[in-house]
Amino acid sequence: MFTGIITDIGEILDLRQEGDLRARIGTSYDPAGIDIGASIACDGVCLTVIATGTDTRNWFEVQISAETVDKTNLGRNVWRPGRRINLERALKVGDELGGHIVSGHVDGVAEITAMRDEGGSTRLTFRVPAALAGFIAPKGSVSLNGTSLTVNEVAGDSFGVNLIPHTKTATTWGDAKVGDAVNLEIDTLARYVARMTEWSASLNSALKA
Q: Is residue 160 in some structural domain?
A: yes
Do 172 and 127 lie in one domain? The reply is yes
C-alpha–C-alpha distance, residues 186 and 132, integer Å: 8
Residue 138 in contact with residue 36, Cβ under 8 Å?
no
Tally of domains in the chain: 2
Q: For the chain, give the number of residues.
A: 209
The pLDDT tens digits along the chain (209 residues) read 899 999 999 999 999 998 899 999 999 999 999 999 999 999 999 999 999 999 889 999 999 999 999 999 999 989 999 999 999 999 877 677 777 889 999 999 999 999 999 988 999 999 999 999 989 989 999 999 999 999 999 999 999 999 999 999 999 999 999 999 999 999 877 665 666 666 665 656 666 66
Q: Are strands 45-54 and 8-18 parallel, antiparallel or unpaired?
A: unpaired
Q: Is residue 19 in some structural domain?
A: yes
Do 153 and 186 lie in one domain? The reply is yes
Specify the CATH number for the domain of residue 165: 2.40.30.20
